[in-house]
């Protein structure tokens, strides 16, 4: 951690033209002694990552097993549809709640839903006819996830300087996805000697304990208004005093920066692809221990993917920001076609009617190595996609109010796409249909984003890009 802090100090101390606007903002002296470490933006983003390590990370580990670790995936698919439907709706209002309660309390409230959701799968393992509990828990988690991810997005994009945004996103994404790695390792270890189609109670209990630990981590985080960035500028927590002002912010953000609309297809697809990856590939054709190993390598590859594109590509300050944007777009677009062409040759070999536990691929099968490499590349694509999306939003503005609105757009539209495809899986739409729709939407998302990258991303953020601060105050 000390090396990371020193590196962040070095980046911030260079006073590049892509800092957080220190040439226009008042410069403060950073704290001394232990406070210098505690209030350092890198440490606070790391603690934020640890919250998501424990809660969304365990959720990801469970989802990655396919069907929530169950033989029959219908309950989990319907629960996911309910989750993302409530997420999409409440994500629209969660920015106001975050601004009123503060990010620490908002984070804590958001974490509780993950514990409830995992507990519901434990209940199903004990009482198989408790599927309705899973669906209700999914709906509750959607409300909680809206709170957690709104607080997370506002903090993650406000702590770094402009020159550090890709790196900070990469740091957060790496720690967050370690949760999926650890959770997958727990599931793999506990079910390694099993060739059954579902996980045991011990796996769910382990996940439940970790999510409960995550509930209390926000208590140890600092308030954002006490954080001074590495270039000496202070992080100011944005507050909207009323619902009216919050609604005005949405419209003003669209009016002052209509280019954001071109990112909406990319937002829509950003969680859409999980359904085929987790339920219709990993959950459909592998034994439980193979699913656990696939899950483990998937989340591990995410760590490398986010750090690679965030630090080595998007924050490479020796290269103009516009050039970095084009390189990032090209890498992600190429990955979309690499993984989907590869996956197509597997998907055409099975359907919902032909899959069964008797035909599941185990880790010792000859065909397993090629199949697990596809999961690795899917993990790389996911992390590169999400990191690039956040970086594009951060490149459009340094205005915290505008960034909060952009994050709200991102999570709400993302959840709309996820709700639809999980429902399609719940009603057992053919695997191939879901796969083709995933491929088309991801490719379209990148194509729609290209004009925004070409016309909107500049080498430096200008004053006129910070238009949301002009919103009427009450």
CATH number at residue 394: 1.20.1250
Tokens 């696939």, residue?
Answer: 294
- Inter-CA distances, 214 with 203, 317, 344, 361, Å: 17, 35, 38, 34
Going by C-beta distance under 8 Å and a sequence separation of 6 or more, which residues neighbour residue 328? Answer: 309, 313, 314, 384, 388, 391
pLDDT for the residue 242 = 59
Q: Has residue 29 been placed in a domain?
A: no
Q: Which pLDDT does position 75 carry in this prediction?
A: 81
Asked if residue 235 lies in contact with residue 158, where contact means CB atoms within 8 angstroms, the answer is yes
Q: Are 277 and 355 in contact (CB under 8 A)?
A: no
Return the DSSP state at 242: S
SS3 361: strand
Both 256 and 303 in one domain: the answer is yes
Residue 411 in any domain: the answer is yes
Q: What is the pLDDT of residue 472?
A: 43
The helix-helix angle for 368-396 and 431-456 (nearest 10°) equals 30
Q: Coil, strand, or helix at residue 236?
A: coil
The answer to whether residue 13 is domain-embedded is no
Residue 277 lies in a domain: yes
Looking at 240, 269, 291, the residue that finishes a domain is 240
DSSP 279: I
Q: Do 232 and 377 fall into the same domain?
A: no
Tracing tokens 């979309």 back to the chain, one arrives at: 336
Q: Is residue 96 part of a domain?
A: yes
Q: What's the chain's Rg over C-alpha atoms?
A: 22
- Helix ranges (DSSP H) in 102-161: 103-126, 131-158
pLDDT of residue 14: 42
223 and 171 both lie in a single domain: yes
CA-based torsion, 56, 167, 106, 40: positive or negative:
positive
Residue 224: exposed, middle, or buried by beta-carbon count in 10 A (0-12, 13-18, 19+)? buried
Q: Which of 218, 240, 262 is where one domain is finished?
A: 240
255/221 same-domain check: no
Give yes or no: residues 73 and 152 share one domain. yes
Residue 239 confidence (pLDDT): 55
- Whether 49 and 84 map to the same domain: the answer is yes
Give yes or no: residues 235 and 254 share one domain. no
Residue 327 lies in a domain: yes
The domain tally of the chain equals 2
Short-list 336, 325, 441, 469, CA closest to 394: 325
Eight-class DSSP state of 309:
I
Same-domain check for residues 204 and 275: no
Any idea what the Cα angle at residue 328 is, between residues 229 and 47, rounded to 5°?
A: 35
| Same-domain check for residues 280 and 203 | no
In terms of Cα–Cα distance, which of 236, 238, 240 is closest to 227?
Answer: 236
Which residues is 234 bridged to in the sheet?
228
- Residue 144 backbone dihedrals phi, psi, to 5 degrees: -65, -40
3 lies in some domain: no
Neighbouring residues of 128: CB distance < 8 A, sequence distance ≥ 6: none
**Same domain? 356 vs 425:** yes
Where among 240, 256, 286 does a domain terminate?
240
Q: What is the mean pLDDT of each run of 10 residues along the chain (474 residues)?
A: 51 43 64 87 94 93 69 76 90 75 88 94 85 91 92 84 86 91 82 66 88 94 86 68 65 83 95 93 90 91 92 89 95 98 97 88 94 97 94 81 78 90 91 98 98 90 55 44
The pLDDT value recorded for residue 322 is 93
Q: Flag whether 322 is in a domain.
A: yes
Structure tokens at 187: 């599931």
Residue 24: what pLDDT? Answer: 53
Q: Which residues of 247-281 are buried (b: 16+ CB within 10 A; e: fewer)?
A: ebbbebbeebbebbebbbbbbbbbbbbbbbbbbbb
Range of the domain at 172: 34-240
Residues 227 and 285 in one domain: no
- pTM (2 decimals)? 0.81
CA distances from 105 to 204, 291, 319 (A): 26, 35, 39
The residues that bridge with 286 in the sheet, in sequence order, are 361
Residues found in the chain: 474
Do 196 and 309 share a domain, yes or no?
no
Q: What is the pLDDT of residue 288?
A: 82
Closest C-alpha among 10, 3, 58 to residue 171:
3
Instruction: Return the SS3 of 1.
Output: coil
Which of 62-73 are b and which e, b meaning 16 or more Cβ less than 10 Å from the residue's Cβ?
bbbbbbbbbeeb
Helix or strand or coil: residue 71? coil
């Amino acid at each position: 951690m000390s090396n990371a802090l020193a590196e962040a100090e070095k980046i911030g101390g260079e006073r590049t033209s892509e800092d957080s606007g220190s040439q226009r903002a008042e410069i403060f002296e950073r704290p001394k002694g232990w406070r210098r470490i505690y209030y350092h933006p890198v440490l606070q983003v790391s603690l934020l990552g640890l919250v998501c390590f424990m809660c969304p990370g365990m959720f990801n580990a469970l989802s990655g097993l396919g069907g929530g670790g169950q033989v029959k995936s219908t309950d989990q698919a319907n629960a996911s549809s309910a989750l993302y439907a409530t997420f999409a709706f409440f994500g629209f209002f969660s920015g106001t709640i975050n601004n009123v309660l503060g990010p620490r309390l908002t984070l804590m409230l958001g974490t509780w839903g993950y514990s409830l959701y995992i507990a519901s799968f434990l209940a199903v393992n004990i009482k198989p006819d408790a599927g309705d509990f899973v669906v209700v828990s999914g709906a509750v988690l959607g409300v909680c996830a809206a709170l957690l991810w709104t607080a997370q997005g506002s903090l993650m994009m406000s702590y770094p300087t402009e020159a550090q945004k890709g790196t900070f996103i990469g740091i957060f994404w790496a720690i967050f996805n370690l949760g999926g790695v650890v959770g997958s390792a727990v599931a793999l270890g506990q079910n390694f000697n099993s060739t059954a189609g579902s996980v045991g109670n011990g796996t769910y209990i382990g996940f439940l304990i970790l999510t409960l630990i995550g509930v209390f981590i926000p208590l140890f985080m600092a308030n954002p208004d006490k954080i001074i960035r590495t270039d000496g500028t202070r992080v100011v927590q944005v507050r909207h005093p009323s619902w009216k002002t919050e609604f005005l912010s949405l419209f003003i953000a669209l009016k002052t920066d209509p280019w954001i609309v071109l990112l909406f297809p990319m937002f829509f697809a950003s969680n859409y692809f999980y359904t085929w990856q987790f339920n219709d590939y990993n959950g459909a054709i592998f034994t439980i221990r193979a699913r656990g190993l696939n899950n483990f390598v998937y989340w591990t590859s995410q760590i490398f993917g986010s750090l690679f594109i965030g630090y080595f590509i998007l924050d490479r300050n020796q290269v103009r920001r516009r050039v970095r944007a084009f390189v990032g777009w090209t890498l992600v677009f190429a990955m979309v076609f690499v993984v989907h062409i590869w996956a197509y040759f597997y998907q055409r070999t099975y359907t919902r009617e032909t899959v069964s536990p008797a035909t599941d691929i185990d880790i010792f099968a000859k065909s397993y190595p090629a199949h697990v490499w596809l999961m690795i590349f899917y993990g790389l694509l996911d992390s590169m996609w999400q990191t690039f999306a956040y970086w594009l939003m951060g490149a459009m503005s340094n205005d915290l109010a505008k960034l909060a609105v952009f994050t709200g757009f991102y999570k709400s539209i993302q959840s709309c796409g996820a709700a639809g495809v999980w429902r399609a899986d719940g009603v057992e739409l053919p695997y191939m249909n879901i796969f083709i729709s995933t491929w088309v939407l991801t490719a379209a998302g990148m194509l729609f984003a290209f004009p925004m990258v070409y016309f909107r991303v500049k080498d430096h953020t200008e004053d006129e890009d910070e238009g949301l601060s002009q919103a009427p105050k009450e």
